[in-house]
Structures are given as C-alpha cells and as structure tokens.
Amino acid sequence: MSVRELFAPRPAPPSRLGFYRKFSTHAGVHLSPIALGGLNIGDKWHEYGLGSMTKESSFELLNSYFDLGGNFIDTANAYQDGRSEEFIGEWAEGREIRDQLFIATKYTNNAHHHNAKFAQQIFFAGNSAKSMHLSIESSLKRLRTTYIDLLYVHWWDYTTSIKEVMHALHALVLARKVLYLGISDAPAWVVAKANEYARCNALTPFCVYQGRWSILDRSFERDIIPMARDEGIALAPWSDWLRTPQEKAVCDALEEVAGEVGAKHINAVAIAYVMQKTQFVFPIIGGRKVEQLVTNLEALEIALSNEQIAYLDAASPIDLGFPHSVIVWDGSTNGLLNSSTGHVEFWPRAQPIKPTRKVEV
C-alpha cells in the first residue's frame, strides 16, 4: 500500500453538514456549519404549549442530523426540564458516538422549576459558582458523559461578579469537565469585560456568543457582531419568526432573492443571509421533523451576492442609535468626522464562507 493510499481522502459527505469549519479564532475544533437545536427534544413542555417530542421522534431527528454529517448539537440544562439532555445522552450512548459529537449545553436556568420535590430552588438558577456546580454535575449525568464540549452562561444575571464566573468556569476547564466556554443573552460590554479579565488572569475566555438574530430582528448587529469580530469569537444565532410590521416586506424580499438564486424555501435564504454577513456564524436550527431539517440545510447551498444581502438589509432596516449614528459604525468605512481630516483606504475584512459546489442529499 502506498502512502497516498494509506492516507486516502475521506469519501464525500452525504450533505454540506459534513463540510466542517473552524469554530472561531480561539477554538480550533471543526464543526458542522449548522447546529441542531435541542429546545424541542424532550417530552416535558407539551402541556405549556412550548412544543415537545417523543423519544422516538427525537431519536429520528438526531439520527438524521448525524447521518447527514452533523456533529454539533445545542441544548441546555433546563430544556424540557432536563429531558432534552437525557434524550440526547441516551441516544449518543446507544449509538456509541459520544466522542464523534460536539455537545453544547448551558447553565443559569432552573431545571427544577416544575419539580415539587425541590422546595428550595434558589441555588439552581443564576450565574453563581454554586448554580454552575449543581448544573454541570446534573448535565454530565443526564448526557451520560464525562465532559461537556461547550458550556454556555445562558443569560447574565447582573448579581454575580465577572471574577466569580470566570474563575469558576476556568476551574471546570482545568478539571476537563468542560472544553470550551460560551456566553448567551448578555450585553456586549459584559462579554468584552469578561474576556479581558480572563486574558489578564490566564483564564479561559469565551469563544462563542449565542443570541437572537434574524433578518426580522437585526438588533444583534448593533453591538454584538462588532464585539464578536473584535474578540475573535464565533456567533451561534437562533431565531423565532417574530410578527413585525415589516414582515410582509421581508417575506417579499426573501421570495425575490429565492427566485434569483433558485432556492425552494425562503427560510433557507433567511439562514444563508445571517451566515454570509460575517465570519464564524453557526446558526442553531430547531424544528421537530426531519423534513424541516432537510429544508433548512438548503441554506448551505445558497451563495448570496453583496447586492442581494444589501437588498435584504434594506427590507428590514436597523436603527443603530447613538453613538453609531454619529461616528463610524464598525470601522469599515471613513465616517463623517474622520473624512474631514483626510482620505483613508481600509484593508478588506476576511469574508464568510460561501458555497462553491453542490452536494446532493
């Protein structure tokens, strides 16, 4: 056998989920470009009108995602009152594929909110070191694993210090219970301050930010994206289709662009839109049916031009507010005040990945 045969390339993946991407500037792990969201995986929230799935339908969705080449699964300690983690853990153990997966979970929410056995629940929520400890130990058991690939601070509670959070998170990394750190639903200034504290104290910084971002809600672009670009961290956006006054205009614009690029579904165009606005974007896609998953994966086949992105931007404009409305927004162009001092040429930014070849599913 020749060296070339010994190290033959892997076969082509069954879908674009199998074309992996470096996670972020500070995280060298390579992941599927779209993560499977675990919010609906589980059977505990049906009575609250928030959706749920049986174990069988959950496993079917997880199997389809993995068999299409997917390796990035996002869940949280409190999704479906912990059942999401339980189903994912049982499924991964049953297929013996735990180390082939990158599993992200979160702490901060109270996973025992609907459990009457827990009379005192104050310790099970928030950003404190105790909440973190209780949550991670429970998540490890439910996921049937010895480590979490990515642990998020689910939301910022404004009562715990950055010092306490970053030291407690770093201890989990040193113990190898957690490999990477992320933060969700927090102001940009908190993330920047936390990462600066981590760097100055030889601690593990956040490598990804998760939050709501879509063509219908672009507030994410005001401060979160510039912060993430400066920090070199990834973005894991989720979205809910908000009913807004400009919804019809946005849908019309998506339909028009879908026709131009030959896309079958406007939601796939909407996903491609956020993926191609900046680097290191890994959308989290939910849903309960395999058909929805396959429909969303069309986003990985769509290459949008700069003109098409600008057209979609115009259909859902964002008010940047002060001080962005007065000074240069993101440093990519010369603003009013700077232009009065001279002419400046700006180095182009690194661009997001766009599809270059089609993969049949």
User: Contact 215/315 with Cβ under 8 angstroms?
Assistant: yes
Catalytic residues: 79
Instruction: Quote the tokens at residue 15.
Output: 């879908």
Place of tokens 């490598």: 207
The conformation of residue 57, written as its DSSP 8-state character, comes to H
Length of the chain: 361
Question: The dihedral of CA 328, 334, 336, 341: what is its sign?
Answer: positive
Cα angle 69, 21, 258 (rounded to 5 degrees) comes to 75
User: Contact 54/84 with Cβ under 8 angstroms?
Assistant: no
How many CB atoms within 10 Å of residue 155? 17
Distant-in-sequence, close-in-space partners of 19: CB < 8 Å, separation ≥ 6: 13, 33, 69, 300, 359
Torsion of CA 139, 144, 148, 154, to 10 degrees: -20
Name the amino acid, one letter, at 297: L
Torsion of CA 286, 292, 297, 301, to 10 degrees: -140
CA distance 137 to 134: 5
From residue 327, give the alpha-carbon distance in Å to each of 317, 335, 340: 18, 6, 12
Locate the DSSP E strands across 158-251.
178-184, 208-212, 234-238
DSSP strand pairing (27-31 vs 21-24): antiparallel
CA distance 74 to 20: 16
User: Contact 41/87 with Cβ under 8 angstroms?
Assistant: yes
User: Contact 102/29 with Cβ under 8 angstroms?
Assistant: yes
